Chains A and B, each alone.
Chain A
Amino acid sequence: MAEAPQETLAGKQSVLEKMPDHPAIKAMLAWGVENLTGAIFDRGELTLTVPSEKIVEALAAIKDAGFNAYEDMTAVDWLPSEPRFQLTYHILSHAYKQRVRVKAWVSEADPAIESITSVFPGANFYEREVFDLFGIRFEGHPNLRRIMMPEEWVGHPLRKDYPVEGYR
């Protein structure tokens, strides 16, 4: 990580100009940079935003570029803004020793995104967790069931409009 610039690069243009050698940026350029809706380099971490319908394609391109290890995936509920849910994927490269964060947004009206288990099978439990706690559906997931909460539970606890205390 030593050679990466330390200052914050906000916006797609400046990241693409200042970090053309980053393997993930190269992969994005090859895949189709017009699909990239945003990019930011902040606190030594690169974040790429892609449209939710292209998430599998984008992650497959990044995986081909050497980001071989799926690390983590979660969601953030930005109630009341729209689109409401931010999905965050962290992908690590064992060869480059770097990490890239890929983000996609899904709306409250139709909280669904394609499952990435075809590219990274390790996302299986993580997608189930997000389904359980945020109520986001993953199309094409092999076993989309609740994982933390009981099967008959009503509601999705990590949503911001879910009460923290008192009776439900």
Chain B
Amino acid sequence: MLDVGTPILKAPTAEGAKDQHMVLNMGPQHPSTHGVLRLVLEIDGEIVVRLYPEVGYLHTGIEKTCESKFYQQVVPLTDRVDYLGPLANNLCYCLAVEKLLSLEIPERAVWIRVLLTELTRINSHLIWLGTHAMDIGALTVFLYTFREREEILRIFEAVSGQRMMTSYFRIGGLAMEPPLDLFDRIQAFIKTFPEKIDEYSNLLTGNPIFRSRLIDVGHLSPEDAVALAVTGPTLRASGVDFDLRRDMPYSGYEKFQFRVPVSNRCDCWGRYEVRLEEMRESLKIIQQALDGMPGGPVKADAPKIVLPDREKMKTQMEALIHHFKIVTEGFNVPAGEVYQAIESGHGEMGYYVVSDGTAKPYRVHMRYPGFASLQALETMCQGRMLADVVAVIGSIDIVLGEIDR
């Protein structure tokens, strides 16, 4: 058994010798900050005293850009926010606008959305696992996880024509009917994937270096986690049993049976366990979605909002007029405001959309989990060694695209 309870070494400075503190700049160009995160650390020897995250290096003003686009044109923008989970972004935005429009979307579209969003979650967790292990020094796992991620990206490409920036979900359903062999491909993928998770687990769970770098590192109490607005797997690894998919179901999640993994460890190891378990639960949801996949259309019957099929557009005058109107003028959305939250791979993703009754959103605000998780970084790193900061950043699974927006 590993000795994981070793107390932190006392800093080799005299009591109160504040002038011994050094300010260290980490990033924005640093391989283990997962993008362009800059941390300003005040260190005492190798012990972290204070930590300030400095963000904004990737700020593109995407919320401002949304205000000058038609509602449908915002969908491709959302892909670029959390670029590791593109379909989750699409889903959240589409659900928000559909709520504003009070639009019912067909059953088949709902199920395909759930199916692909869960694949997105696995995709996002695979990148987290690969990069997290790589930060710790286990370089091999990265190659293993990217092998499986490649297959998911190929599935996305088959569905939408794009590997990463999918934009496959549309307001009112899906862009088009998925290709014929798609469900077989996904079935083949999820049949082999459980062994792959075991393979990662075999590489990491018993690895003494990996264990000692994660166990009891980055402690975040449940009270602190809730107070600092931390969500998702990081929150559940602190022992708070809350998952939006189960507790406030959206997009038909109430029809699926799955377990929400929770860990009371409150450390990086707990976060590792929770995410690994979440991948297995996602597989269950995908299997249920494949088994019960209903037939029917994939677009809502709303000719003034949803683009008509190509065939109809070329043969029917009315469909052509609708097509022309939607493309050139967009569609008006009733005035009002909605907040739609979903459980993305990283945590709670929320879109706050305000409409003033025109064809362009008056305000789109995006709430992303990484932005809130970053606030908890100081709490998790204070009093720990400098090297633990790298492990903690990996364990909260941040994407700078979603933080800086």
Contact = CB atoms under 8 A, between A and B. Distances in A.
Q: Is the interface of A mostly helix, strand, loop or mixed?
A: mixed
A146 B63 CA distance: 17
Contact of B350 (A44, A90, A97): A90
A148 B55 contact: yes
Contacts of B348: 71
Given A88-B352, A90-B350, A157-B64, A71 B100 contact: no
A43 B338 contact: yes
B352 A148 contact: no
Size category of the B interface is 35 or more
Contacts of A97: 247-248
Contacts of B365: 72, 74, 88
A121 B226 CA distance: 9
A122 B102 contact: no
Interface residues of A, number: 36
B154 interface: no
Given A43-B336, A72-B339, A164-B64, A94 B242 contact: yes
Contacts of A149: 56, 59
Contacts of B55: 147-148
Contact of B362 (A76, A94, A124): A76
A31 interface: no
A101 B352 CA distance: 11
B371 A125 contact: yes
B229 A122 contact: yes
Contacts, number: 89
Contacts of A158: 63-64
Contacts of A122: 227-230, 372, 375
B232 to A, nearest CB: 12
Given A97-B248, A124-B375, A125-B371, A76 B354 contact: yes
B228 A148 contact: no
A147 B64 CA distance: 16
A148 B405 CA distance: 9
Contacts of A148: 55-56, 59, 404-405
Contacts of B375: 121-122, 124-125
Interface in A139-168: 146-150, 157-158, 162, 164
A157 B61 contact: yes
B240 interface: yes
A120 B248 contact: no
A1 B339 contact: no
B398 interface: no
A72 B350 contact: yes
A154 to B, nearest CB: 15
Contacts of B350: 71-72, 90
B339 A45 contact: yes
B185 interface: no
Contacts of B64: 157-158, 162, 164
Contacts of B341: 71, 99
A68 interface: yes
Contacts of B362: 76
Nearest to A162: B64
B25 interface: no
Contacts of B372: 122, 125
Nearest to A129: B371
Nearest to A90: B339
A33 interface: no
A97 B354 CA distance: 23
B248 A1 contact: yes
B358 interface: no
Nearest to B338: A43
Contacts of B229: 69-71, 120, 122-123
A147 B100 contact: no
A81 to B, nearest CB: 11
B122 interface: no
A150 B28 CA distance: 14
A82 interface: no
Nearest to B348: A71
B244 to A, nearest CB: 9
B367 interface: yes
Interface of A: 1, 42-45, 47, 68-72, 74, 76-77, 88, 90, 94, 97, 99, 101, 120-126, 146-150, 157-158, 162, 164
Given A43-B102, A45-B338, A122-B230, 9 more contacts: A69-B226, A72-B350, A74-B367, A77-B363, A88-B352, A121-B227, A123-B229, A146-B56, A147-B56
Interface of B: 55-56, 59, 61, 63-64, 67-68, 99-100, 102, 226-230, 240, 242, 247-248, 336-339, 341, 348, 350, 352, 354, 362-363, 365, 367, 371-372, 374-375, 404-405
- Which 9 pairs between the two chains have the least Cβ-Cβ distance? A122-B229, A72-B367, A74-B365, A148-B56, A148-B59, A122-B228, A76-B363, A97-B247, A70-B229
21 contacts: A44-B99, A45-B339, A69-B226, A71-B350, A71-B367, A72-B365, A74-B365, A76-B354, A90-B352, A90-B367, A97-B247, A97-B248, A99-B248, A121-B228, A122-B228, A122-B230, A125-B375, A148-B404, A158-B63, A162-B64, A164-B64
